[in-house]
Structure 1
Amino acid sequence: MPPVQTTKQHTERSYYEGDVDFDLLAAEDADFAAICKISKDKRWVDFQDPNVVQQLTKTLLKCHFGLTISLPDDRLCPPVPVRWNYIRWIQELLDTTSDTYTDHHDPSREVLGLDIGVGASCIYPFLACASRPQWRMAGTDIDEHSLDYARKNVVANGLEQRVRLKLSSSAEAPLIPLDAMGVEDMDFVMTNPPFYSSDQDMQASYTGKFAPPSAVCTGAENEMICPGGDVGFVSHILDESLKLRGRVQWYTAMLGKMSSLQTIIAKLRELGINNFAVTCLQAGYRTKRWAVAWSFRGHRPRNDVARHGELVLGVLPTATAQTIAVKGLSRLVAGGKVDELAKELDVKWRWRGEMGIGVMEARENVWSRAARRNRRFARAGKGKEPPKQEAEEGESSEEDDNAVALAVKITCKEGEVELRWLRGSDYVLFESFCGLTKRALVGGR
């Protein structure tokens, strides 16, 4: 794909959290106002009417993202809020796992993603490109009818240079066709797979519920059903990821049931994949959906991103942050102690004293008693070592990059010090460094 060239201004949009305000939406769009009903001064819509559901989607895309789409009557009409929450979460995953360790959006970063099962709406590539001008997307689907609509929607939104679509015509073809696409690596893959393994499975999902589905479903069979349901589909992606590994930074998938999320998390743990993240994508008070992401690279997402939304304890990944209470210590004093500690160690240390923030990178555990004793012995035998040069933020050679066993960001505040796990595969190493820092701050070393 060609590089992105755009000067379009954009603002970061937050997650959808509550129900959509129909009054505000009706005031913005006359087409939506026309399909609303009013009862007891309250505006509402009939979610069992497919025309109404389509109009709500079209209005949200137009008013909130500047997008326009056309949809066939015999394919899924995607609700926007949960879809956007999925895209927003992926944005935060990438923003908090960059080489610069900055934990915020870098407008200059070019990102390439893949949506497996793009559908007629092409909604995920559209939301990604509308919100991030430097992002490009590829999309695949097994349904030519859906792809015909998706291609028309791409042209209608002027995204031909940023969204590329491909028909998956063979059941044996890879779900992540990097080689066929001529792509060496990719920032993320995503999928909103069929949730059910059979028609009986789909019908059983409604059994025992007190209310009908919250919205009418117009999806075709291939959009609703596949072998093994969502667990089977995501397991296939997991199998491919074991071969591709770091060629994709984040593998992500939406899941329809908490039990499906629990099954996939169990598989990740069985395979020893400990760098993963989970989220609840619920928007408003209707249907819940979940998403999981995993990576073979060492960059760790921020804790609130790795454990995002309403989740049960059993699916949570290892925490990527610890807070040390330093009652009675000012930010300046705590920062001085942290800076002194880091300079005693054989690590790369970037310290911004005026901000009370530092980033430490270590090639190995150099703070164990044995390592520190050996370092003192070497100093005594060879004289004082030359000072280590500080690299600029985000600067590292390829050799240094591959050798980083642990990277930690330390933020000193009044009364507490936060340690953020930025990089590494060994939680024990992170925990031991946190213990060392705590002893330096609140006890003798």
Structure 2
Amino acid sequence: MKLQQKKEHPDEKPGLHPRNRHRKRYNFHELVDTFAELAPFVRLNEYEDESIDFSNPAAVVMLNRALLKHYYDIDHWNLPSGYLCPPVPGRADYIHHIADLLGSCNGQIIPVGSKIKCLDIGVGANCIYPIIGNKEYGWFFIGSDIEPAAIKSADKIVHDNLTLRGKVELRLQRNTRDIFRDIIQKDERFDLTICNPPFHASLQEARSGSLRKVSNLNNKRITTPTLNFGGTNSELWCEGGEEKFVRKMINESKRFSLSCFWFSTLISKSSNLKDVYTALKQAKASEVRTIPMSHGNKISRIVAWTFLTPEQQRSWVQTRWDGFTEPPH
């Protein structure tokens, strides 16, 4: 059997943030040294490169466990059956780009430490953003979710890892119609909020998207969803999809205009940007930033907004961030 011609790969993955720990190709020797349970899933692909079968959910979970242990000191991490297994490099990019946004308001010095509070809307069962944000910048995280099982899983991850205890708090959003209400408490202040909103507008659309993903990974048509690539309903879809969810978030954020410096969200579909910008104009956001991101062939962006005036922004920085500096990398 003739082997396919070996591909030439760049030393670094294109598009990732300069501080992203995952810019280089995965070093499976190092990862297996750190996390031996990954070894049975490592194999040579058709180009004789070490890799895993990315269409195998168990292999992807093991890779994540290895990455989180090797780079983020997470000893215990797992997911309930059926929940999304997040791509760590892409999630790290959001954290680094949003850190630069904070730094842009502070003389290019990124504020760090536990006094910096971040609210992760839809923290999910994986708790991935708090893990990365706390390791990289020492920020304190509050994660919210509408699913009790997701909160339970994230809480277990925090409890089982000493590096996270006292640095991440989980809150259940009991009213699925609300996003910030009953999560942001009276007189509570957040330096930023982050969100990876549901992408699809219906269950059927979400299932079709999952099948396309698995089919692409297998290079053949798959008609049955694979567990763990499916994701729960609230992770993947909501009525109206990403655009309606983000518009709702923007409208509700106005009620908490003085409670948070920067609100932000991922926007996966560029076609949604026009409606998002219209909603931000209607909500009278004082400043809007769009931050492009790319990971391989995937293009997305962060949209961030604030209701604080320039004077209020300066006051926030002076009272909350004074004395905090960027950690070495």
- Asked if Structure 1 and Structure 2 have the same fold, meaning a TM-score greater than 0.5 normalized by the shorter chain, the answer is yes
How far is 1:78 from its partner?
1.1
Cα distance in structure 2, aligned partners of 1:120 and 1:38: 31
Question: Does 1:45 find its partner at 2:52?
Answer: yes
1:162-181 equivalences under 5 Å are 162-172=167-177, 174-177=178-181, 181=185
SS of equivalent to 1:113:
strand
Cα distance in structure 1, aligned partners of 2:183 and 2:81: 35
Contact 2:158 2:168 in 1 (8 A): yes
The one of 137, 144, 151 equivalent to 2:141 is: 137
**What residue in structure 2 maps to residue 241 of structure 1?**
253
Question: Does 1:14 find its partner at 2:7?
Answer: no
Q: Which shows bigger deviation, 175-184 or 46-55?
A: 175-184
How far is 1:106 from its partner?
3.9
Cα distance in structure 1, aligned partners of 2:280 and 2:217: 32
Task: Output the amino acid matched with 2:87.
Answer: P
How far is 1:156 from its partner?
1.1
TM-score between the two structures when normalised by the length of structure 1? 0.58
**What residue in structure 1 maps to residue 298 of structure 2?**
287
The one of 84, 91, 109 equivalent to 1:83 is: 91
Task: Output the amino acid matched with 2:105.
Answer: T
Cα distance in structure 1, aligned partners of 2:209 and 2:278: 22
How far is 1:56 from its partner?
1.3
Give per-residue Cα distances to partners, 1:129-185, cap 9 Å, x unaligned: 12222x21111111111111111111112233221111111234x311367634432
Question: Does 1:117 find its partner at 2:122?
Answer: yes
Cα distance in structure 2, aligned partners of 1:139 and 1:94: 19
Question: Measured at CA, do residues 93 and 241 of structure 1 come closer, stay the same or move farther in structure 2, by a change above 3 Å?
Answer: same
How far is 1:47 from its partner?
1.2
**What residue in structure 2 maps to residue 256 of structure 1?**
268
Question: Measured at CA, do residues 57 and 150 of structure 1 come closer, stay the same or move farther in structure 2, by a change above 3 Å?
Answer: same
Cα distance in structure 1, aligned partners of 2:240 and 2:299: 20
Task: Output the amino acid matched with 1:71.
Answer: L
Question: Does 1:212 find its partner at 2:215?
Answer: yes
Question: Does 1:33 find its partner at 2:36?
Answer: no
Q: Which sections of structure 2, spanning at least 5 residues, go unmatched?
A: 1-16, 219-225, 319-329
Cα distance in structure 2, aligned partners of 1:181 and 1:275: 24
Question: Does 1:96 find its partner at 2:104?
Answer: yes
How far is 1:109 from its partner?
7.4
Give per-residue Cα distances to partners, 1:347-404, cap 9 Å, x unaligned: xxxxxxxxxxxxxx9xxxxxxxxxxxxxxxxxxxxxxxxxxxxxxxxxx8x6xx9xxx
Question: Does 1:148 find its partner at 2:117?
Answer: no
Cα distance in structure 1, aligned partners of 2:309 and 2:273: 23
Task: Output the amino acid matched with 1:84.
Answer: A
TM-score between the two structures when normalised by the length of structure 2? 0.76
Contact 1:206 1:213 in 2 (8 A): no
Give per-residue Cα distances to partners, 1:191-211, cap 9 Å, x unaligned: 11211110233356589x798
Paired residues, number: 286
**Which has the larger Rg?**
1
Task: Output the amino acid matched with 1:32.
Answer: L
Task: Output the amino acid matched with 2:88.
Answer: V
Give per-residue Cα distances to partners, 1:397-432, cap 9 Å, x unaligned: x6xx9xxxxxxxxxxxxxxxxxxxxxxxxxxxxxxx
SS of equivalent to 1:212:
helix
Contact 2:44 2:50 in 1 (8 A): yes
Cα distance in structure 2, aligned partners of 1:113 and 1:153: 18
Contact 2:61 2:78 in 1 (8 A): no
Cα distance in structure 2, aligned partners of 1:210 and 1:125: 26
Task: Output the amino acid matched with 1:148.
Answer: K
Cα distance in structure 1, aligned partners of 2:51 and 2:245: 36
Cα distance in structure 2, aligned partners of 1:211 and 1:219: 13
How far is 1:103 from its partner?
1.0
SS of equivalent to 1:265:
helix
Task: Output the amino acid matched with 1:154.
Answer: V
SS of equivalent to 2:298:
coil
Cα distance in structure 1, aligned partners of 2:305 and 2:144: 21
SS of equivalent to 2:263:
strand
Task: Output the amino acid matched with 1:264.
Answer: V
Give per-residue Cα distances to partners, 1:14-36, cap 9 Å, x unaligned: 13446544455345443223211
Contact 1:261 1:290 in 2 (8 A): no
Cα distance in structure 2, aligned partners of 1:123 and 1:206: 20
**What residue in structure 1 maps to residue 6 of structure 2?**
none
Q: Which sections of structure 1, spanning at least 5 residues, go unmatched?
A: 1-11, 300-360, 362-395, 402-445
Cα distance in structure 2, aligned partners of 1:210 and 1:120: 21
How far is 1:271 from its partner?
4.7
1:292-303 equivalences under 5 Å are 292-298=303-309
Task: Output the amino acid matched with 1:281.
Answer: M
Task: Output the amino acid matched with 2:104.
Answer: T
**What residue in structure 2 maps to residue 338 of structure 1?**
none
